Amino acid sequence: MSFTSNIKTEISKLNVTEAEKISELSSIVANSSQIDDTIKITTENASVARRIYSLEREIYKIVPKVTVRKGYNYNKSYIYIIEAKYDIKRFLNYLGMDEIGIPFEYIIADDNLMRAYLRGLFISCGSINDPKKSRYHLEFLVQSEDYAQFIKKMLNNYDLNSKVLKRETKYMVYIKEAEKIGDFLRIINAPQAVLYYEDIRIYRDHKNMTNRLNNCEQANVDKIIETASKQVKYIELLKEKDLYDLLSEKDKIAAEYRIKYPEASLQELAEIITIETNNSITKSGLHHRFNKIKDLSSKGVKK
């Protein structure tokens, strides 16, 4: 099963209060039902089908009809259709809606009811990319812009930084930030999904940080080699133009050690000179000496 399907299976097995059941079913009906003379909900997840069946049976005390069909493509799993006849107006009113869409305020009146509504939203129209396989992305596909803005506002009550984008005839409410997606999984009470998601996220973040450090280190090494190579060229130019003897003894020592250790950084070279000559020199002092060598070589080129 996909990561999304695993999450839906997990949250569809939660034990919740009667009020939470109504909020959850209200969201499911708003986003995945077909209504004519019956209420019909279709899903490919067996656990979700059982959840919807149980919610309708427990809330309305009737037995919905369940039909199982093979998927349209040869590689698809079964499709579950939960269907029941209701007084549609009474049914929607009981779920806190006068029509399919934004619910009455009491359906999401407190934190627990809001979380239940978001669970139903994810069950009916949500998906999350598997963090092992692709970029971090959570989305909900809904029918209207007003409803998309309503969902965006609800998600952002939890500081999830969700956004809305029009996609063909529907609207996508989405979250891209890895930490925010992990927070959403906690909000809908999916602890197993949180553990899986956070393990992968921490591993990927650590790997990315290691790569950045390696790249930074390599960039520093490249810079050191480039600087040392230029210093060697200045020294060779002085010798070629017979200007080397114009250097002071201290500058000559710096030049000789640079030729001897062409790949050492200034800090490493300063430490080597200090140890081998027993004369202390700092990185800054060595930098000053190489600037004098550079200036003299530049004058030699002009001549």
Bridge partners, 58 (sequence order):
none
For residue 261, what pLDDT is reported?
85
Residues 177 and 141 in one domain: yes
Structure-token match 């009550």, residue found = 157
For residue 138, what pLDDT is reported?
95
For residues 131-155, average pLDDT = 92
pLDDT in tens, 17-36: 999 999 999 999 999 888 88
Range in 145-149, 152-156, 272-276 with the lowest mean pLDDT: 272-276
Residues 152 and 211 in one domain: no
Which among 189, 218, 234 is the end of a domain? 189
**Phi and psi torsions of 98, nearest 5°:** -95, -15
- Which H or E element spans position 172? strand 170-175
pLDDT in tens, 199-244: 888 887 767 777 777 777 777 877 888 888 888 898 888 888 888 8
For residue 301, what pLDDT is reported?
56
pLDDT band, very low/low/confident/very high, at 302 (cuts 50, 70, 90)? low
Which among 160, 189, 218 is the end of a domain? 189
Strands, E assignment, the chain: 33-35, 39-43, 65-70, 78-84, 126-128, 138-142, 163-167, 170-175
Q: Determine the distance from the C-alpha atom of residue 56 to the mean position of all C-alpha atoms in its chain, rounded to a whole number.
A: 36
- The tokens describing 217, both together, are 């280190």
Task: Report the residue count for the chain.
Answer: 303
Which one-letter amino acid corresponds to residue 70? K
pLDDT in tens, 33-90: 888 888 899 999 999 999 999 998 988 888 889 998 887 665 567 899 999 888 888 8
**Gap between the Cα atoms of 145 and 191, Å rounded:** 31
Asked if 25 and 59 count as a contact pair (C-beta separation under 8 A), the reply is yes
Range of the domain at 114: 3-189
Asked if 154 and 117 count as a contact pair (C-beta separation under 8 A), the reply is yes
Residues 182 and 255 in one domain: no
Report angle CA 81, 86, 90 to the nearest 5 degrees.
Answer: 130
Q: What is the sign, positive or negative, of the torsion defined by CA atoms of 53, 54, 56, 62?
A: positive
Asked if 50 and 12 count as a contact pair (C-beta separation under 8 A), the reply is yes
**Gap between the Cα atoms of 302 and 159, Å rounded:** 64
Structure-token match 């393990």, residue found = 199
**Gap between the Cα atoms of 4 and 179, Å rounded:** 17
- Domain of 140: which CATH number? 3.10.28.10
List, edge to edge, every strand of the sheet that includes 163-167: 126-128, 138-142, 170-175, 163-167
**Gap between the Cα atoms of 5 and 190, Å rounded:** 12
For residue 182, what pLDDT is reported?
93
Residues 111 and 178 in one domain: yes
pLDDT in tens, 102-136: 899 999 999 999 999 999 999 999 999 998 887 88
**Gap between the Cα atoms of 240 and 234, Å rounded:** 10
pTM: 0.69
Residues 212 and 169 in one domain: no
For residue 107, what pLDDT is reported?
94
The number of folded domains in the chain is 2
For residue 19, what pLDDT is reported?
94
**Phi and psi torsions of 16, nearest 5°:** -135, 170
Percent of the chain with pLDDT over 70: 96
Residues 181 and 260 in one domain: no
Q: Is residue 276 part of a domain?
A: yes
Residues 141 and 79 in one domain: yes
